[in-house]
Chains A and B, each alone.
Chain A
Amino acid sequence: MKYSYYPGCTLHSTAIEYGWSTEAVCEALGIELVEIEDWNCCGASSAHSLDPHLALALPTRDLMRAQAVGADIVMPCAACYGRMAAADQKMRSDPAWRKEMEAAFQTEYIGAARPRTLVDVLGNDLPIEALAAKVKRPLTGLRTVSYYGCLLVRPPDLTNRWDDPEHPVVMDSILKALGAEPVQWAHAVECCGASLALDRADVVTVLSGRIVRGANDAEADCIVCACPLCQANLDSRQKGISPKVPVLYITELMGIALDLPGRNKWFAKHLVDPRPMLHRKGLE
C-alpha cells in the first residue's frame, strides 16, 4: 500500500510525537508514505476566516504536487484534512476555478488522488484482521474513549462518510483489534475549542474540560485522538481536573501494541505524562 504523505506543520513541531508514531506504525504495517516534495501549510482556520481565495489556493498547491506520487494523499491532521478535502472538491466542481489554478501552478489537475485522513486509511484500507495479526502486546484491560472532534468526520459533504459524522466507529474497531476496551461516552464528536487555543483560552478550557471530565465519567484510562490541535487543547487544559487524563494519538497506542521501538521518546512529549498509567497497565 502506497500513499502520498502530507504531514502538515504541527507534525514537525507541537505534534512531533504524532509524526514519529505515524511513520513508525505505517512502516511496520507495510504502508509506504511518500512525502509530498516541498509541501506548504494548508492555511488552516486562519486562511478560511480571512481570505477565501487563499484558503483554497494554498492546499491546491499541495494537491498539485502530490500528483507526482500517483496515490491517495494521507494526512494525519484533521484540520489539514478538512482544508485539502475542501480544495479538492472545489477543483472537481468548479471548472473556472480549476482553470485558474491550473494556470497558476502550470499543472493539469487529474484528480486521481483523493485526500484521505490517516484513521480512514488505517481502519478502512488496511484489513482489520491484518492489523490484529500484527499485534504483539495486546492492550488488554486498557479502557479507552475515542475522540474524533470536528473535522475528522465533518462535514459529511467533504468526508465522503468514511465514518459516520455523528456516531463514528472506526477508531473503536482499530482499538478492539489492538486488544483494548473502547467504552461508550458522549463526547466523541464534541469540539475542543480548536483555534481559540490562545486568543480565547477561557473558551477552550470550558470545552476541553467538559471532554476530559467526560472521559473520567466513563472511567477511561486515556483519551484516544487523531488531531494535533485536539490533542494540544485536551492535554494542556486540565487544570483543576482530577485525575488528569493522558491524551494519546491512536498511532501511539498502535505503536505499543505492535511493540515498536523508541516509544518512550513519544510519550516524553506529552504534558500529561501517559507513562505512569501505561506502567500501571503493564503497557510501558
Chain B
Amino acid sequence: MTTGATASLSSAVRTSAAPTSGSALRVDPAFLPTVEAISHENIRLCYYCLKCTAGCPTAYAMDYGPAHVLKLVQLGQKDKVLRSKAIWLCVGCETCWTRCPNGIAAGHVMDALKQMALQEGYAPAERRVLVLHRQFLTSIRLFGRVHELSMLALYKLLSGDLFTDLDLGARMFLRGKIPILPERIKGTSKIRQLFSKQPRGQA
C-alpha cells in the first residue's frame, strides 16, 4: 500500500504543476478550505509525521491511512478522498487526536469527508457501514433510543448481508440480550425536531 500511495502522491504533485495535461488528476483548490471549515480542523498543520497512521487500528484495512488522507486533502485530491474506503473505516477511536503533535483530530476530518461524500452523491466505498449508521439513526428517530432487533433486521434487509452472524444474533437473543419490544421515550417529537434541522448526511 505504501509504495502505491507514495507514487500516487507524487503524481498528484506533478499534476498540480501541469493542470492542462489530459490524463492528469484534477486538483480542486477549494477542497482543503472546505474540509477545514466543515471539520473545524486545521489540516494544513499536518507535516506528515505519521503518528496517526501508526496508531490507527483500522489503517491496515484502509486504502489510505489517516495521514495520507490529510495529505490528499492538502493537495486538493477531492475525488480520490471522497471515493476512499478510509473515510468509512474510521471508527472514531480518537487515537490520532490524542497523539497528533499539532492537535489535529483526523477522525473529525474523516467524519466531515463522509458527510461531503454523501452530499455530493458519491457512492460510499463501504456501503454496509453507511447502511448500519442510517438504521441506527432511524431507530433513534422512531423511539428516541436504539432498538437492536428492528435495527438489525432493517440492516440485514437493506445491506443484503442476510446470513452473516445469524448464529451470534441467535445466541444473544437466547440470552435475553436483544429485547423484542422497543423502549419508546415520551419526547420523540422533540427528537424528530432535532433530526429535521440536520444539514447533511441524508443524501
Contact = CB atoms under 8 A, between A and B. Distances in A.
Interface of A: 9-10, 12-16, 38-41, 43-54, 57-58, 61, 82, 104-105, 149-151, 154-157, 165-166, 189-191, 193-196, 198-201, 203, 206-207, 236, 268-271
Interface in B143-197: 144-146, 148, 152, 155, 159, 161, 164-165, 168, 171-172, 175-179, 183, 185-187, 190-191, 193-195, 197
A237 to B, nearest CB: 9
Count class of interface residues, chain B = 35 or more
Given A14-B178, A50-B200, 17 more contacts: A9-B146, A41-B140, A45-B133, A50-B114, A51-B200, A52-B200, A57-B197, A58-B191, A61-B191, A154-B94, A194-B91, A198-B152, A198-B165, A199-B132, A200-B61, A200-B89, A206-B60
Interface stretch (B63-71, B72-80, B123-131): B123-131
B133 A49 contact: yes
Contacts, number: 177
A40 B185 contact: yes
Nearest to A237: B168
A198 B155 contact: yes
A193 B168 CA distance: 17
9 contacts: A12-B179, A38-B187, A52-B38, A61-B190, A154-B97, A193-B57, A195-B132, A201-B164, A269-B177
Contact of B57 (A104, A190, A198): A190
Contacts of B29: none
Contacts of B202: 50-51
B16 interface: no
A16 B171 CA distance: 15
B84 interface: no
